[in-house]
Each structure stands twice: as structure tokens, then as C-alpha cells.
Structure 1
Amino acid sequence: MVLIPGSKNEYFEERDKLIGMDRALRRDSSYIQSRSALEKEADEIVRRIRAEEAESIWKEDHLDVLHPFPGMEFLTGKRIIEKTRIFKIISQMPKGALLHAHTPAVIEPRTLLQLALKEPSIHVRVPIRLTPTNLWSTLPIFLPLLVESRQSIGTSISSSDYIPDTWVHIAKARESFDRALGGPKGFDDWVIGALTVNPSEAYGTYNTVTKIWKKFQSTFSVAVGLSSVSSLLHEYFRLFFIASINDGISYIELRIDPDFLKGILGEDGKRYLTQREVVFMFGETIHEIKQELKKEGCEDMFLGARKLIYCSLKNVAPKDLYTAIEDCISLKKEFPHLIAGEFSRYDLVGQEDELRPTIDYIEPLLYFRKRQAEEQIEIPFLFHAGETLGDGTAAEDNVYDVILLGTKRIGHGFSLVKHPKLLQICRERKILLEVCPISNEVLRLTSSMPMHPLPSILNNGVPVALSCDGPSVFGNFGVTYDFYQVLVASETNGLTTLGTLARDSIEFSMMQLEEKKEALRVWEIKWNIFLQKIVNLYGP
């Protein structure tokens, strides 16, 4: 029986009870109940500033932005976001762990291009001579060539005598780029355009999921060719770690594709490195960064990136997955602290709906679990699933299979809100969702953050870690932008919500239990310093 309040006072009492029961299911409810007076005060300050900026900054007239609002399309609103006090506050926040980002899409594209221009091995070719008409529809193809293969014919990919698909050294191609196409600056803009998605592309040219995925996929092929040299890749990792540290990230789990691991040219240009050598270089770069921090007396700023998540693409034939499985097991045995392990993912080759569903890989994946038992090792599954608008499609059913396979985390899980039983399972089994809000929006799964299913996920008590996915493509480096979008798009979410997301990113990482305890201890110290800074700078 539903009790209908008889008086106004009774009504408001029942109303408060109902809201309380509903909010008690939220993931951050226990933290809200136990938070300190300092955190409560800082949260109130942030809520006040958010409300003020919703009425001021977001209601001002902005050049070329016709409909500004908090949580709007990221690529259009980015410049407005960067003007806000909330963004400045969140940029100082200790973010915890970054659990979902893909090599090779994690450093600033112009920086990657500058590094590539210094490499003697990197060459470029195009299938047709470039002209003002075809420039923006033609992708550059980059590749580091072995010394014996470096036979450039001509110096320009835009001259009238260019032979299609002829390799030209990247620096020569840039220097000789046709003035009608913008000269060297035009070359840079063309390459950067091939590495990124701009607002007109995301919200105009490629305004459907299928179209934008094709553009997104193409950026990875360009980035791989630019970054597949050992000396460059070492600096690439180093710059990524430093930028992450500066964003308040203290621990990283980076996804990496085995084909990328096998295609890195050695520094001498005479051979390609083995997977073992690339993984070793990754570990050495982490060690260097930690040593630098130790010398500066701030070694607790970065706990490392001790887990590579080894990925296979969903366009591979199921029978071919066995080879990747054995490679992953071999790397895990040699580098037990670096390989976390993920299979059956699709992000480098296209949209989930267009590739093989997880069910196609059940036999090799069950075999993989058997081989782990034989080798007495553990490589947790960390599957992508539900990054789709479908309902009941083969791709959308992936959410059932990854849970049955025992995934520890789910990448994206955008469609999970359609499945109440699965939400319950994720809550009870503590299966974390790696949610990438800006990526989901730019890739047209949602039109804006207020329309994103994340509030429903949090309201159901499911653990979540925010991540940036492919930041070099979207420009959402680190996780500050994603945290911002989540905060301003919900009146319920507050500073304590963001703290919960950061804690969960550490708790559900692949670190060992004692490492997690230490990471959380250090994070709590930073968190309280952060809260005090808010009160000192913005309090009454």
C-alpha cells in the first residue's frame, strides 16, 4: 500500500524520506554521510561557483557558439570550459588512476609531429598528388623505413611530377609542401587534421556514429605510422607520463595493441624490436620518471604505470586469437608486473556494431582461462562492451558475455543502463565501468553530457572511473575535462562525487592490495590539501 500524506508537513516528511532512500543507492552515498566538515565546506563552495557560472559564463554570448550550456558538446565548448573557475579548481584535483587510454593516442598531436620530423626513418606517401581540391580528403600514410628501404624519389608529395605511393622523408615533404597548400604550415595543419576530430567534423560532416567512427579509426592509423620508432616512442611515453602527473594522475594502466608492439623500428633503423624489447623500454621509461621525481623529493606524485593492458582487435579471426593469447602469456611470465591483459576489443579498427561480437571468441577465450590455470598465472579480463546505441543487437549483447566471462571491469558500458539485472550484478560483484564521457559524446553516442547515462549508473551504485580514451584525437588530455563535464552536467553530483570516482579508480585498478592501500593513503592526503586550497581561495 502506498501511503498518501494527509498534511503538508507529512507530505514533505515523506518526500524527504523518498529522496533519501533513492540517494542512498548512489555510489557516493557512504562518502557523503562520513565526509569531514572541510570536505562539506569545499563541496558547498564548488556548488556555489558552479551555479554562478551557469548563470554568468554559460549565458554570455560566445563567438561561434550559438547555444552554450554546461555539459554541451565538448569540442565546441572547450574554450568556454577553460575560462571557468570550476575548470581551474578541478585541474588541481588529485585524480587517482587513469584506467582507460589507448596507445598511440595519448600525447598532443603537434608534439608528436615535431618528434617525428626529427626522425631519419619516418617517411610519408599519398595515393595521389595533393591539390587544394583533394588535400583534406587524402590521408597521409607514415611509416618508419628500414635503412635499406630509404630510397626517396623526389622531395615533394605535392609537386606535379610526384609518383603516387612514393615514399618521401617527412621533413623533406614538409619543407617542399606546395605554397598553394600553405607551405610547411599547411603540411602541419594537414597532418594535425588527420590526427584529430574537429567540431565541424564531429557535429557536421561525420554526424552519425558510423561516420564519426570511420574518422576516429583513421586517426589511429596516422598516429601509429608517426610513433613506431623506438627513440621517439621512448620520448612519447615519457611526455605522456609527465602530462598525466601534471594533471593529478598518480597511476596509469595503458592499453596497447600487439600489432603495434611488433612494429617498432629500432634506433639503428636495421630491424624491428621484439615485443619483449618494447615492453622492457616501457618499464625503463617509468623507472626514469620515478627516479626524476625522487630526486625532486616528490616521488609519491606518481606510483607508476605497471600494468599494460594487452589487446587484440575484434576484426581478427577467432582461430588467430590463439597466437595473441600465447604471446600475452609469454609477456606476462617475463614481465609479471606489467601485463594486466585484455582481449576482444575493437577501438583501433572501427565501431563495435560493425565488428565481431564477443560471442564469436568464446572458444579461444575459454582456452585462455585454461592456459592461465596451467601456467599458474592470472591475467584478468578487462573487456570493452556496450559502446553502442543498439538494443538487443549482437554487439549490444556483448555486455552479457563479458560478465559471464568474469570481466573485472567494463570499458565504456554505455548501454548497460538498459539492463537492470546487469546493473545489479555490477553493483554486487563490484565490476567497475571505465566511463569515457567526452569520447562517448564526440563519437555520437550522446548529444551532450546531460543526456549521458552516467547519472543512472551512479544512482544504481555501480563503481565508475572516469577516463579519456583517445585524448590526442579529442583534445581531452588527462581527465580534468572529463571530470568537469560530469560535474557541471548534474546538480546531484558534487565534489564528493568526484572524490568517489577518483577513489574507485585506485580501488579497482590492477595494483596489488598493499599497493592500493598505499595509493589510497597518499591520495587522501592530497585530497585534503586540495580541499583546504578550495576553502582558502574561494571561501567567504
Structure 2
Amino acid sequence: MLNKEFKISFAGSQHLEELELKANEVLMKHKNAELSSGYHHPGYYPTLQNIPNFIKQVQTSKIFKILKAMPKAGLLHIHDTGMTSGDYIFNLTYRKNLYICCHAGGKVSLRFFNHPDTSCNWKLVKDKRADPFFDAHLREKLTSLKRIPARDSHDFGEMALELFDLVYDLVSYKPIFEDYVYEMLLEHYMDGIRYVEVRAACECLYDADGNIYDYDHIVQIYLKVLEEFKNDFPDFYSLRIIYSVDRRVSNEELEERLVIYENLKQKYGYFIAGLDLLGREDEGRTLKEFVPLLWPLKESASIQFFLHAGATNWYGGPSDENIVDALMLGSKRLGHATALSKHPKLMQMAKQKDIAIEVAPLSEHIVGRSVDARAHPAAVMAALGVNFVICNDMPGLWGVEAVSYDWYLAFMGFASARDDLRYLKKLALNSIEYSALDKQEKGELREIWTREWIYFIHRLANGELI
């Protein structure tokens, strides 16, 4: 019976070659040891820990060390706010001409100026560091570490808005943005990623004189950095942008954004992979409200949808029913979609349409949609053969770097204890298959990944990784 279950599961059809079987023995030896420790000391299992303790514990894990070394191919869901490590974001506060303003209620703002304006009582961050407690306070403001896990996504959402705004103030400074994009690529490259799709919602950049640079300029920076990075790391494949709009916009504002999207698509072609509507579904507008504008576009050759849908704990309400509209609109993937496991017909539809779910285990834990990764909705979806990819959403805001922590939560959290190297191999291959790349590009990325996978398997099988 269990063998029959496995055959219909996510990785049930995946095959392993002879050397992969040997590598699998090494992998499962360490997985079983960590699971056994968890069975005997359940209160100390990593998936139950708060995030600072989770990070410390996982960093000592042999499975995590294997995952860090593993080629993962693509990353298909990361937001432009918080896409580098938290340490890198914090270190940006040491750049010159950064000012801070403290508002009533404890909220703070950051801004770079040559000459501060009069909109707030701006103080130079460099001067504020005379206070020995200032850095600790500022670091806490720039990550969610001491304020999570949230009791529900509403509580997190209120905290997150302040957090996002503060990080946005830093990374949307034009002299920083270019370095920031390069650092994102570097951190993920070192973590086994060779292709990235960014949810780009940043609408403009600014400089210290108050000049504003539009989305077109942002795209040019991405292209410039990508060229530089590929020169430095020739085996990195590529980067794509998913133009992203906050779902709180009015229909009139969305019409304006769609014009911007079409202009960008005409100018930059394949580099603009598609469109997303993002933001808190429980409190934002539903996809159904945007259907009159989006439905006529669903057959357009110039647009592909990659929609956030069903990122909620509610069942039978407007937010989880966003999944219906996303599927009907032909979304190529579903962002988060944690509510999908409650809808067997919609799961079946996603499976039939071959639509993958973008699962971000750490993020979904932090916002309260999966308090323990072992109970993550993706466990049900994987058991029923729904395809998914592992993503990291906004790693810098969670205090981690790149994507291996999310892979750990998947493999040691919601994957079955019996899931092995086939599961990891399938996840990596899915990140190619469900990417926005065309058939030829997928083949080229697969060639890069295969070379690295063979080398990884050799090292794992011969005990060189542990």
C-alpha cells in the first residue's frame, strides 16, 4: 500500500542511476539519524524552534551541509525587497549620507540625502551610532527575527509593512541598488542557484539629491548587473523579471501598470517574464475584482501570469478562492497557494494543467500559515502528485541567506521520512521545467545543472561532503 502511495506522489516516477543510489545511501543515513534524534527528543526538532534557534541548529546539520553543496538549478520566487542576507542589508546602513527619522509609536524611516529635506526630523545615522544601543535597535528593525513567528498573517502583515518600507528605503537608493542586485546573485550562486526569477515591485529609485529613476531604469540596472555577473561567473545562466503590482491598487491604477508592462515587454522582450499581483490576500483586493482587466489578456502572446493565490489560512473565503481565478486566468505557477490542499478539485485541476506551486517554507512559517513545517500543506500536495518548486520569498527579512534553509524545511519537514534523493532531484528539475524559459533555454540550463549534479553525486557517494 505504501509503495502504491509513493508511485502517485510528487517524486514517485523519478529514477536514480547506479552512482545516485550509492549517494542516496549516504544521504538517507544522515536523514534517518536526524529524524531519529527528532523522534526521541521531539521538543528540540528544528521545525519547532523559533527562527534564531532554527538557524543555529540547522547550521550544524549534516543534511544542511549536503543541501548547501547541492546544485539546485533555478529560484523562481524571490521579492526585490529583502533578497540578500540580513547582514548585507544591515551593513548598508554604514553607507554615507544615510539619515534616520523616528516617528511616534516607534516607527522609523531611513533616507539618503546630500541635504535632508524638512519632511521629518532627520538625524545622521553616523551620529546616532554614538548611542551604544543604536545598532542593536536598528538591526532589530531591519529583520523580523525578534518578532516572529506571528500568531496570524494579519499580525505579521502589520509588522511587515513597516519592515518592508524600511528595507525599501535602503535598497531603492540608486547607488546601492546595483550592488544589491549583484550581491543577491552572488549569494544564490554560492548556494547552487544558476537561474533566478525576481518579483520586481520596486517602482522607482532615488538618489541623494532627490532625483527619481523609473522602472525602465531599474530594468537597465538588472541587465547591466546580469552581464557583469555572467562575465565573473560564466556558468550562471540568467535572470528574469516578473513585473509585480500591489493588489491594493484600483482598477484605474492597474490599467496604468498594464501599459507600463506592455511598454517594457516591447522594449526588453523575454527579459520581462510575466506579471504578478502580490500583497496580502486576506486584506487586499481579490483577483476576481481584476478579472475584467486581466481576462482579455490571458490569450495574449505578450503576457504570462505568475500569480500569488491562496496564501491564506481561511477556507471558503474570498482569499482562498483567488486560486480559482488564478487557474482560470491561466497562471503558469501559483505563488504560495497554501490553501490549495483544502480544495481537492482545484488540486486536481492544477495537476491536470501541469501548474507548479511556489512553496516558500520559511516564509510560510513566519507569516503563520505553517507553524510547523511537518504540517505544511505542501505535504498533502506532494503526496497527491502536485508539482511544486522551493523558493525563499524574502530571505533577508527572515535573517537567512539564499535558499538552502527552505530546502532543509522541505526535505526534513514536510517530505516523508521515506523521501530520498529522488525528491531532491525532482525539485531541482522542476525549477527548470516550470521556469519562464523557453524550450531551448530550459535545455541549456539543464545541461549546466546536469554537469554540476554529476559532480555533486560523485562527491556525496564518495563521502567527500561530510
> Does 2:141 correspond to 1:194?
yes
Match of 2:217 in 1: 277
> Does 2:63 correspond to 1:82?
no
Match of 2:44 in 1: 68
Superposition pairs for residues 134-145 of structure 1, below 5 Å? 138-145=106-113
> Does 2:411 correspond to 1:503?
no
> Does 2:71 correspond to 1:94?
yes
Report deviation, 1:343: 3.1
CA distance in 2, matches of 1:422, 1:367: 23
Name the amino acid aligned to 2:203.
L
Name the amino acid aligned to 2:168.
V
> Does 2:409 correspond to 1:485?
yes
Report deviation, 1:201: 2.3
CA distance in 1, matches of 2:46, 2:143: 23
TM-score normalized by the length of structure 2: 0.94
What is the aligned counterpart of 2:193 among 249, 260, 283? 249
Match of 2:445 in 1: 519
Please state which structure has a larger fraction of its residues in strand: 2
> Does 2:21 correspond to 1:40?
yes
Match of 1:334 in 2: 267
Match of 1:175 in 2: 129
Match of 1:3 in 2: none
Q: Which of structure 1's runs of 4+ aligned residues deviate more than 6 A?
A: none
* Greater RCO (Cα-Cα under 8 Å, separation 6 or more): 2
Superposition pairs for residues 295-310 of structure 1, below 5 Å? 299-300=234-235, 302-305=236-239, 307-310=240-243
What is the aligned counterpart of 1:123 among 99, 116, 120? 99
Match of 2:358 in 1: 434
What is the aligned counterpart of 1:150 among 103, 113, 116? 116
Deviations 1:465-505 (A, max 9, x none): 10011101112322111111111223032121011011101
Deviates more, 1:423-432 or 1:388-397: 423-432
Q: What secondary structure does 2:44 align onto?
A: coil
Whether contact under 8 Å (2:32, 2:417) holds in the other structure is no
CA distance in 2, matches of 1:485, 1:42: 21
Match of 1:238 in 2: 182
Match of 1:529 in 2: 455
Deviations 1:414-473 (A, max 9, x none): 110111111111112110110001111111112211111112111221111100111011
Structure-2 change in CA distance of 1:170 and 1:539 (3 Å): closer
Structure-2 change in CA distance of 1:57 and 1:410 (3 Å): closer
Match of 1:134 in 2: none
CA RMSD in angstroms comes to 2.2
Match of 2:284 in 1: 355
Q: What secondary structure does 1:261 align onto?
A: coil
What is the aligned counterpart of 2:84 among 102, 107, 111? 107
Match of 2:293 in 1: 364
CA distance in 2, matches of 1:102, 1:493: 29
CA distance in 2, matches of 1:151, 1:362: 42
Q: What secondary structure does 1:514 align onto?
A: helix
CA distance in 2, matches of 1:44, 1:106: 34
CA distance in 2, matches of 1:333, 1:74: 46
Structure-2 change in CA distance of 1:539 and 1:325 (3 Å): closer
Whether contact under 8 Å (1:468, 1:477) holds in the other structure is no
Q: What secondary structure does 2:82 align onto?
A: coil
Match of 2:328 in 1: 404
CA distance in 1, matches of 2:155, 2:328: 31
Report deviation, 1:46: 1.2
Indicate the percent of aligned positions where both proteins have the same amino acid. 23
Q: What secondary structure does 1:341 align onto?
A: strand
Whether contact under 8 Å (1:71, 1:486) holds in the other structure is no
CA distance in 2, matches of 1:138, 1:539: 46
Whether contact under 8 Å (1:59, 1:69) holds in the other structure is no
Report deviation, 1:94: 0.3
Q: How many residues are matched?
A: 463
Structure-2 change in CA distance of 1:495 and 1:275 (3 Å): same
CA distance in 2, matches of 1:398, 1:27: 24
Whether contact under 8 Å (1:434, 1:466) holds in the other structure is yes
Match of 1:321 in 2: 254
> Does 2:187 correspond to 1:261?
no
Match of 1:131 in 2: none
CA distance in 2, matches of 1:397, 1:488: 30
Match of 1:166 in 2: 121
Structure-2 change in CA distance of 1:408 and 1:276 (3 Å): same
Match of 1:24 in 2: 7
CA distance in 1, matches of 2:336, 2:289: 20
Whether contact under 8 Å (2:298, 2:330) holds in the other structure is no
Name the amino acid aligned to 2:191.
D
> Does 2:227 correspond to 1:287?
yes
Report deviation, 1:119: 3.6
Whether contact under 8 Å (1:144, 1:229) holds in the other structure is yes
Whether contact under 8 Å (1:319, 1:364) holds in the other structure is no
TM-score normalized by the length of structure 1: 0.81
Q: What secondary structure does 1:311 align onto?
A: strand
Deviations 1:97-141 (A, max 9, x none): 111111111112332232343243x3221124xxxxxxxx61221
Report deviation, 1:214: 1.6
CA distance in 2, matches of 1:210, 1:281: 34
Deviations 1:243-288 (A, max 9, x none): 000000010000111xx232x114x735211221111011100100
